[in-house]
Structures are given as structure tokens and as C-alpha cells.
């Protein structure tokens, strides 16, 4: 009888340990408190994906329910707070050309490709309306051909669709939070897109791919948000291997570009290794110090954490086409964007965005 009792105790202990770990992961992903994590997990049978979907769907539509983002009621008891403290200013209309974009538009006959990759932190709903308008300001300023986004939520996507009609928007999911791509209609033509699921992800992560035509050149665009948190290094490396395999095996007449929030540490990349045909754009352009840290709590205070963390979580990988006679693009510029505070006193995201351009070599 004693052994049975010990076995029962061990079983109960294992369940408690497993549920405690799930709560910790939920808190890390959703930014909630432990009580909310336990509540959502318990009501969804301790299934992480269902619990997160339920959490993110709860009351989110009110964030962007009116075009000009009027004052809203207080958020539920999570990190979601009042979105706006005052009536918002009119939003930027991306359907109109601005003086800032006129120079870029005059260059559209050249073969230069411009890209922005950005984790926009849609999970943080504080000042989200103003931060979304800030993102649109950068789209007007840079008029990038391709925009690769991470941590989108459905209302954020609907806002972009209303404001950025000059872009085709491809979504990497429908519920919770997900990735997305924006393709400038006048420059980039979509051939097909698909979502590749990471089989062992615990955080609803996947790889979004799009085959496109850019001025007669075949491009394969990729974006992803790799597994978060230090303890998920093994899953992150699995996801990097999937991306690298896809990049390596793409046809030789196709140029391949990946940009996203990888959450990678340099030691993890070293363990996986990059194919000889693939380059890390930041490294290829000389490892410029001012572009190193895309997650920098020393300079960016959107997240109030009791420590300083400076990491190169967001990365751009590139594999040029190698077939004879096919135009050969090469990276020629990189800069971080979103470094200025908005009127609300916060930044567009807790991540800096990456702007890159590529020209024919």
C-alpha cells in the first residue's frame, strides 16, 4: 500500500509541475499575471494554444473598433489597459503620396529592393492605436517594397488593410497573434503563399512563405517569430534549421529573403550553422554597431524590466539566386527604425525595426 501511495503522490507532483510550467510559459507569452494564466489554462483543459487564443480574443476588437480610435473603457484584469487617454488625431492615409515618398517613387524603375522587418508588439495594447499610426508613418516615409511583421493581432491587421491599400497583406494566422507580410502592389506581384507549421512549437509559431515576382525576378520571401524565452533554445534551433533548409533548397533561379524575430542567441546560431549560400545581412554589411541590438531595454523603455538586456533577436538572412543569367541582388544598406518616441512617450514597439535595401550586384 505504501508503494501505491508513493506512486499516487509522484503522479500528483508531476501534474502540478507540468501545470506550473505551463503557467510560466503562458505568462511569458501573454504578459499576463499568474492568476490569469491559471484561469485561462484551466478553462481550456490545460491546452496552451486554446488558452492563448481565448486570452487574445477576449475584448480585443474594441482596441480598433472605431476608425479614429475614440476613448475606450478600461481593459479587463490583465495587462490590457485603456488604449487612449484622449481622442486620437486623424490617421495617416497611405493611399496618398507624400513629399517624403516622392523621391522613392521616382526611383521605381530601378532594380533596388527595399524591406522592413519589424516585431510590432501587438500584444502590448497600451497606446496601440498611436503606435499603429507610427508604423504607418514609417511606411509613408520609406515606401518599402516588402514589409515583414511579427506579433500582429487581428484588429491591427484590419487597421493596416484600411490604411495601406497600396499594399497586399498576407496573414500568417487568424487567431491570437501571428506574422504577416505586406507587398507593395506596384512593385511586387504575389504568385503564391503558404504557412509551414513548426511541429513541436508550444507558442503557436510557424513560417510564412510567399513566392513573388519582383520586376521579373523570382523571390521567395519568408518571415517567422521563433520560440521565445531562454529556456526554449532547442525549439528555436529546430525552427532555424527548418528555415535554413528551405533557403538552401530553393531553386537556383530564386532569390530568398528571410526576416523576422528569431529570438536567437549567437551561440545557438553557431550550433546550427548557416549554409555557405546564406548570409546574415548584418554580418555581410560589416557588423555595424549601431545596427546590432534590435531588443535594447537600455534605450527602449516600452517594457519595464528590472534589468538591462541588449540582444540581436531580429535578423535578416539572404540567399542570392545563383543561376547564370539571373539578376544577382546583394545587400547594400541596413538601418534600425522606430528609434524616436511618439507623442504618447512610448516607442512604436519594444523592438526596433530593421530597414534593408538590396541592389543588383
Point out the residues that are catalytic. Answer: 261
What is residue 207's three-state secondary structure?
strand
Give the C-alpha separation, 248 to 240, whole Å: 12
How many of the other CB atoms lie within 10 Å of CB of 359?
A: 15
Give the C-alpha separation, 239 to 226, whole Å: 7
Q: CB-side exposure of 297: number of CA atoms within 13 Å?
A: 7
Q: Could you tell me where the beta strands, DSSP code E, fall in the chain?
A: 113-119, 146-152, 167-171, 178-184, 188-197, 206-214, 217-224, 254-261, 279-280, 295-296, 310-311, 314-319, 329-337, 353-360
Torsions phi, psi of 132, nearest 5?
Answer: -65, -40
- 260 vs 13, 52, 355, CA distance in Å? 38, 21, 12
CA-closest candidate to residue 36, choices 58, 67, 17: 58
Amino acid at each position: 500500500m505504501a508503494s501505491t501511495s508513493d506512486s499516487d503522490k509522484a503522479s500528483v507532483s508531476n501534474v502540478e509541475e507540468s501545470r506550473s510550467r505551463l503557467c510560466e510559459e503562458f505568462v511569458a507569452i501573454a504578459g499576463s499575471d499568474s492568476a490569469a494564466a491559471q484561469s485561462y489554462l484551466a478553462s481550456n483543459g490545460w491546452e496552451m494554444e486554446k488558452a492563448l487564443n481565448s486570452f487574445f480574443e477576449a475584448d480585443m476588437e474594441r482596441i480598433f473598433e472605431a476608425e479614429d480610435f475614440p476613448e475606450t473603457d478600461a481593459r479587463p484584469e490583465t495587462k490590457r489597459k485603456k488604449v487612449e487617454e484622449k481622442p486620437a488625431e486623424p490617421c495617416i492615409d497611405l493611399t496618398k503620396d507624400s513629399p517624403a515618398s516622392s523621391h522613392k517613387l521616382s526611383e521605381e524603375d530601378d532594380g533596388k529592393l527595399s524591406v522592413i522587418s519589424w516585431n510590432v508588439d501587438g500584444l502590448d495594447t497600451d497606446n496601440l492605436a498611436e503606435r499603429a499610426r507610427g508604423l504607418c508613418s514609417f511606411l509613408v516615409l520609406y515606401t518599402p517594397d516588402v514589409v515583414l511583421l511579427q506579433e500582429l493581432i487581428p484588429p491591427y491587421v484590419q487597421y493596416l488593410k484600411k490604411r495601406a491599400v497600396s499594399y497586399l497583406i498576407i496573414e500568417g494566422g487568424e487567431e491570437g497573434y501571428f506574422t504577416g507580410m505586406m507587398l507593395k502592389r506596384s512593385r511586387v506581384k504575389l504568385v503564391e503563399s503558404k504557412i509551414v507549421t513548426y511541429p513541436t512549437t508550444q507558442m503557436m509559431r510557424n513560417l510564412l512563405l510567399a513566392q513573388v515576382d519582383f520586376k521579373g525576378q523570382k523571390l521567395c520571401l519568408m518571415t517567422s517569430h521563433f520560440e521565445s524565452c531562454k529556456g526554449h533554445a532547442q525549439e528555436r534551433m529546430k525552427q532555424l534549421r527548418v528555415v535554413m533548409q528551405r533557403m538552401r533548397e530553393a531553386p537556383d533561379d530564386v532569390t530568398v529573403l528571410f526576416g523576422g524575430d528569431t529570438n536567437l542567441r549567437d551561440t545557438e546560431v553557431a550550433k546550427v550553422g548557416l549554409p555557405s549560400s546564406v548570409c546574415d545581412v548584418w554580418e555581410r554589411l560589416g557588423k555595424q554597431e549601431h545596427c546590432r541590438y534590435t531588443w535594447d531595454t537600455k534605450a527602449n523603455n516600452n517594457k519595464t524590466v528590472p534589468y538591462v538586456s541588449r540582444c540581436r533577436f531580429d535578423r535578416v538572412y539572404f540567399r542570392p539566386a545563383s543561376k547564370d543569367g539571373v539578376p544577382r541582388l546583394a545587400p547594400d544598406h541596413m538601418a534600425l527604425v522606430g528609434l524616436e518616441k511618439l507623442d504618447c512617450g512610448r516607442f512604436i514597439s519594444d523592438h526596433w525595426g530593421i530597414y534593408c535595401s538590396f541592389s543588383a550586384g
